Amino acid sequence: MTTDICCFGIMDCDWIATAAPTVRLLSHAVGVERIGIMVAWITVIHQIGGASVAYLAGVLRIGFGTYFEAFMLAGLLCIAAALMVLFIGTGRRGVAEPATAKAYS
């Protein structure tokens, strides 16, 4: 039991690998001034999406008797997301300048 808890505590640090690159990419997209509120909104949307999909999977399980439909829907949503990623940044006309933070003295 203690080993499981320790392993969960160590292995549950996957957010470290994605938080920094996400914030960096987002700062280039929205600017340094708005990065805090945008990260907050992304977190809120992520939590609402996770909760609603978990509920939907339960509804599908009750309705069909298996999780097959939920897994198929999840797979289709992953394919759709992968296709949407291909179009990120294709509509921009100019090259965005890197965002820099203002230094206060």
Q: What is the 3-state secondary structure (H, E, C) of the chain?
A: CHHHHHHHHHHCCCHHHHHHHHHHHHHHHHCHHHHHHHHHHHHHHHHHHHHHHHHHHHHHHHHHCCCHHHHHHHHHHHHHHHHHHCCCCCCCCCCCCCCCCCCCC
Number of domains in the chain: 1
Q: What percentage of residues in the chain have a pLDDT greater than 90?
A: 41
61 found inside a domain: yes
pLDDT of residue 98: 62
49 found inside a domain: yes
- Residue with the bigger pLDDT between 101 and 1: it is 101
Token pair listed for 105? 């003295």
79 found inside a domain: yes
67 found inside a domain: yes
57 found inside a domain: yes
75 found inside a domain: yes
The domain in which residue 63 lies consists of 31-86
pTM for this structure?
0.59
